[in-house]
Amino acid sequence: MIKLVVYGKGGIGKSTTVSNLSAALSDMGCKVMQIGCDPKADSTSSLHGKKNVTTVLELVRTKKNDFTLEEMVTEGYGGVICVEAGGPTPGVGCAGRGIIAALEKLAEKGAYDVYKPDVVIYDVLGDVVCGGFSMPMRGGYADKVFVITSGENMAIHAAANIAMAVDGFKGRGYAQLGGIILNRRNVKNEDEKVQELAQDINSEVIAALSRSDTVQEAEELGKTVVEAFPDSDMATEYRELAKTLLKICGVEKC
């Protein structure tokens, strides 16, 4: 089982990229589980077309432990197993602690043993990398950390902080940094700025995704690009990224 965690600043296109990766991997024959670790609980929406799903934390709040594994899961495009951790009641509790509780509950209910995914992708908000938000990169969860950024200053700052957190866990058996994914916004000197970031954190840019209207068009349909426009150039870019991630993890296919 390949376990990946993808971080990035809010609004950078992280969940869009992850969902298209899940769809592309599914088309390649992989059994994929995508776990959204963002209080907004919208990581997987383009995979299953539903505006609202019951999150793990909602189940914990309303049913304590009296719920099934199936209640935590929504099946998406190509059989992708979709899970949303969710967040605390607004104004009460800590979203980071919520992620910890959700991931522990998934393990307790036997999600990985029951569904036996080939690839697990944790989609994590990267503006803050504190206790709970760093949970997926800890031992036993992800093997590789990938960071999505554009050439915008705040996105690069967030990416550097994530890389710093990964480096801080070095030597503890935690996930290793797998590389930087550039999601272009077409800002000035974008490629150069992100290449400089990669050098500063001793990593590399493993892919550069185009800024394309196709992405917005697919989102308006409530679908991934891979599903809505499978023959588009953007769908090809996501498929190539999926192949790159598998190769970095040491496999050619699931």
- Note every long-range contact of 64-70, with CB atoms under 8 Å and residues 24 or more positions apart, other chains counting: 68/109, 69/109, 69/110, 69/111, 69/114
Q: Is 211 helix (H, G, I), strand (E, B) or coil?
A: coil
Please, are residues 73 and 43 in contact by the beta-carbon 8 Å criterion?
A: no
Q: Which amino acid is at 31?
A: K
**C-alpha span between 2 and 239 (Å, rounded):** 17
Torsions phi, psi of 217, nearest 5? -65, -40
**C-alpha span between 150 and 157 (Å, rounded):** 10
Q: Which residue has the tokens 């376990």?
A: 3
Active site residue ranges: 9, 14, 40, 127
Please, are residues 124 and 133 in contact by the beta-carbon 8 Å criterion?
A: yes
